[in-house]
Structure 1
Amino acid sequence: MSPTQASTAELLQRLSILELNPMQRDAHRAIGTGKDVVLVAPTGSGKTLAFLLPLAARLDAKAEGVQALVLVPARELALQIEEVWKRLGTGLGATCCYGGHDVRIEARNLARPPALLVGTPGRVLDHLESGRLVVARVRTLVLDEFDKSLELGFHEPMAAILRALPALEQRILTSATDLAELPKFAGVRSPVRLAFVGGAASEERLRVVQVRAPEADKLDTLFKLICKLGDSSTLVFLNHRESVERASAALDARGIVNAAFHGGLDQDVRERTLAKFRNGSARVLVTTDLASRGLDIPMVQAIVHYHLPSTLEAYVHRNGRTARMTASGAAYVIVGP
């Protein structure tokens, strides 16, 4: 049975949210129709809640087995979605599966199937092919950050999973960038398309500042810039893991509390690092493009491009971590002599 309006308000209250933003309201209505939905909105705009709330209405507490499957490109996003679901307190179980996690633990969790399964394509397919996961009753599929999954080469595992869903009724695709043409394997039929991409208004809220470094080694310039930004929640982007570690250590040595984040770190270290940045115990996150999208990092006030990325798209995604919705922000580009 669908929850009443009061119950939806109660779910929001558990997240300390007063009301949905326009994108979430439109997505809630569209997904509620049961039609396929393609939602294009910036990372961090609230897409997770946009599809979890209607899922809470759609799932049947009396049914057995996995009813909804959410595929994501990264383990951090899987954990983030699972956490939001648990905070909603629907009473319906959820678990996540991802590379690097103990398969035996996941197998035990799947032995008593949750209503909602969140996972990365490769690991979900592994459980499916081994027989540990039964998807015969999955009615709803969410391909979250679908553009990122395509970019990372998850075409084949996603296609294989889709072929194995006999009861699938609804597909929900979310993306941070507009997809001109959807891959055939997605099987999307006459979707409701919702686009909440940036445009002139968001560009006006983002201030881009060029910071010139007098020397080829820009660490001193970075230090001075961080000092100038004060208590601002800041993401510093570099292109390589080794550069992240070097810059983080240099800031540490000068008394700047910061945290390093990149794909070479163990999963538990990455989770603790994100927690420190989110709770404000580290106001500066020094990172690769791993943090440019797909992660819930609220209230970022400044972006620093220590290195410029190799593509315009990556530059846009980095800047998209700030100046979200109605907020303003600044992006600083450090250039050498």
Structure 2
Amino acid sequence: MQKNSNKFGNILTNLKIDALNEMQEASIKANQEHKDVILLSATGSGKTLAFLLPVLERLKADNKKTQALVVVPSRELALQIEKVFRQMTTGYKVTACYGGHLRETEENNLIEAPALIVGTPGRLGDHIRRGNIVTDGIETLVLDEFDKTLELGFQEEVGFIVESLPNVKKHILTSATEGVDIPEFLVLEAPARLDFLPEDGNTAPRLELKQVLAPENDKVDTLFRLICHLGNRSTIVFCNHREAVERTSKMISEKGILNTFYHGAMEQRDRDVALTKFRNGTVNVLVTTDLAARGLDIPHIRYIIHFHLPHTEDSWTHRNGRTARMEASGTAIVVLAPDEKLMSYLEEEQVSTIELPEKAVLPEKPKWVTIFIGAGKKDKVNKIDIVGFLSKKGQLKKDDIGLVDVKDFFSFAAIVRSKMSFTLELIKNEKIKNKKVKIDMAK
């Protein structure tokens, strides 16, 4: 099983991975031997690399056309895949296209055809109709999380995309759940089917299941006490509706829990800020809808709290897939009001009950804060520039600077909370690459 780990040695080194896992090895082999492949594997098991490496094997350096297309259900998943491919350092150009991103920026990125394009159905269809994506060179089509991509509302657009690709020679479909029907417009030829899903289909073996019984139907106070009990650990709180997300976030904020919220109706920049703060540890609690149940590649999430019960078993599976990823452990906690019962697909003996202490003690504030910098990739600013700027002009040591996230037109950097005021005062009138930019606390 070491053959491909050796073959892709430099790429794995760039990704800080020692070796490919069994599922990734099987995917590479199946894609070498079969025209079409369906890969079923749990969220967090490494599916992205399991299809990107077979895609890479098919790319030709002397072909200047777009050669591969990856269709995904969310912008976050598109960005994650783009990021992984860039980190692989293959020499091939990649770009992501998704709703909420400036179309003009994407159009500029598409002028020189990327070898690989990753995107959401609506935006990809738009670019194809406008002629921004030339499809005749695309020979590999990947539908990642295809069960979600093909849900009602995406079918028509995905159908249009498939019909617009006249020369596809390989299909790769991936999913973390089984039982989805493959539509007729997706004509697969004797596809190889790889099933690496856990046998029970529900939970990874490293995932603990717990419940908290709220004394009243208004569960916010129980949620507050639960978060206090869990301490300063990375936690996602799932609600079923956008309005409930904002209301719940506000109510626990008023009780002293530092948190941020995230849902599909937010402006893209606000979504970027929320995810950046959660990813870099500026806040440890993210209140969200099922939008965050797929595609968010945030390591070390310790707790999943189902504040609202998931509508479906599929939703339950994907929510829980945010934790217990790869070799880590995690805990899924269901908060039950007096008139609520555990979902029918859970057996009571699987689930232990958490008894909350009477007195709630607020967790310590996180170590980090996030600053906003009004310059990004399009200003030729990269992570090294920002770290250098904060070190020299802001007098920060290496350990004082956390994750740096560079977007197209702005960037975020995590810095130690204790040095925030001093550093902001030092850098507020300084220039980055000879350009005066706005620098402030990220709102």
Farther-moved stretch of structure 1 (271-280 vs 234-243): 271-280
Tell me how far 1:203 sits from its aligned partner.
5.2
Cross-structure match for 1:316 = 317
Cross-structure match for 2:65 = 65
Give the 3 Å change call, closer, same or farther, for CA 180–242 of structure 1 in structure 2.
closer
RMSD: 2.0
Q: Distance in 1 between matches of 2:75 and 2:265?
A: 14
- Amino acid of the residue matched to residue 121 of structure 1? P
Q: Distance in 1 between matches of 2:158 and 2:63?
A: 25
Tell me how far 1:271 sits from its aligned partner.
2.2
Tell me how far 1:72 sits from its aligned partner.
0.7
What residue ranges of structure 2 are gaps of 5+ in the alignment? 339-443
Task: Please list, as runs of the form range in 1=range in 2, the aligned pairs for 1:113-192 lying within 5 A after superposition.
Answer: 113-179=113-179, 181-192=181-192
Q: Distance in 2 between matches of 1:34 and 1:295?
A: 30
Is the Cα–Cα contact under 8 Å of residues 64 and 113 in structure 1 kept in the other structure? Answer: yes
Q: Distance in 1 between matches of 2:325 and 2:44?
A: 7
Cross-structure match for 2:35 = 35
**1:27-50 deviation digits (Å, cap 9, x = unpaired):** 122223352110111222211111
**1:223-275 deviation digits (Å, cap 9, x = unpaired):** 11111111332111111112111221222233322221111111122123222
Give the 3 Å change call, closer, same or farther, for CA 188–249 of structure 1 in structure 2.
same
Tell me how far 1:279 sits from its aligned partner.
2.5
- Amino acid of the residue matched to residue 130 of structure 1? R
Q: Distance in 1 between matches of 2:268 and 2:187?
A: 33
**1:93-120 deviation digits (Å, cap 9, x = unpaired):** 0111112222222222211110001111
Give the 3 Å change call, closer, same or farther, for CA 177–200 of structure 1 in structure 2.
closer
Q: Distance in 2 between matches of 1:7 and 1:72?
A: 28
Give the 3 Å change call, closer, same or farther, for CA 110–58 of structure 1 in structure 2.
same
Cross-structure match for 1:278 = 279
Is the Cα–Cα contact under 8 Å of residues 34 and 192 in structure 2 kept in the other structure? Answer: no
Q: Distance in 2 between matches of 1:237 and 1:131?
A: 39
Tell me how far 1:326 sits from its aligned partner.
4.4
Kindly indicate whether residue 293 of structure 2 is the aligned counterpart of residue 292 of structure 1: yes
Farther-moved stretch of structure 1 (143-152 vs 168-177): 143-152
Is the Cα–Cα contact under 8 Å of residues 34 and 191 in structure 2 kept in the other structure? Answer: no
Q: Distance in 1 between matches of 2:272 and 2:196?
A: 29
Q: Distance in 1 between matches of 2:311 and 2:5?
A: 46
Give the 3 Å change call, closer, same or farther, for CA 215–144 of structure 1 in structure 2.
same
Paired residue total: 335
TM-score by length of 1: 0.93
Q: Distance in 2 between matches of 1:267 and 1:146?
A: 24
SS of alignment partner, residue 210 of structure 1: strand
Is the Cα–Cα contact under 8 Å of residues 44 and 326 in structure 2 kept in the other structure? Answer: no
Q: Distance in 2 between matches of 1:82 and 1:180?
A: 26
What residue ranges of structure 1 are gaps of 5+ in the alignment? none
Give the 3 Å change call, closer, same or farther, for CA 20–276 of structure 1 in structure 2.
farther
Q: Distance in 2 between matches of 1:301 and 1:112?
A: 42
Kindly indicate whether residue 215 of structure 2 is the aligned counterpart of residue 214 of structure 1: yes
Using CA pairs under 8 Å that are at least 6 residues apart, name the structure with larger relative contact order, 1 or 2.
1
Q: Distance in 2 between matches of 1:24 and 1:162?
A: 26
Q: Distance in 1 between matches of 2:234 and 2:198?
A: 21
TM-score by length of 2: 0.72
**1:52-86 deviation digits (Å, cap 9, x = unpaired):** 12222221111111000011111111111111111
Give the 3 Å change call, closer, same or farther, for CA 27–230 of structure 1 in structure 2.
same
Q: Distance in 2 between matches of 1:308 and 1:5?
A: 41
Kindly indicate whether residue 51 of structure 2 is the aligned counterpart of residue 48 of structure 1: no
- Larger proportion of helix: 1
Cross-structure match for 1:228 = 229
Kindly indicate whether residue 267 of structure 2 is the aligned counterpart of residue 259 of structure 1: no
**1:12-37 deviation digits (Å, cap 9, x = unpaired):** 11111111222112112222335211
Is the Cα–Cα contact under 8 Å of residues 44 and 295 in structure 1 kept in the other structure? Answer: no
Q: Distance in 2 between matches of 1:46 and 1:247?
A: 32
- Residue identity (%): 52
**1:183-232 deviation digits (Å, cap 9, x = unpaired):** 11111111111111122494553322221112222111111111111133
Q: Distance in 2 between matches of 1:220 and 1:185?
A: 50
Q: Distance in 2 between matches of 1:69 and 1:134?
A: 11
Q: Distance in 1 between matches of 2:266 and 2:64?
A: 37
- Amino acid of the residue matched to residue 268 of structure 2? Q
Tell me how far 1:278 sits from its aligned partner.
2.3
Give the 3 Å change call, closer, same or farther, for CA 273–149 of structure 1 in structure 2.
same
Give the 3 Å change call, closer, same or farther, for CA 4–328 of structure 1 in structure 2.
closer
Q: Distance in 1 between matches of 2:135 and 2:231?
A: 50
- Amino acid of the residue matched to residue 265 of structure 1? M
SS of alignment partner, residue 186 of structure 1: coil
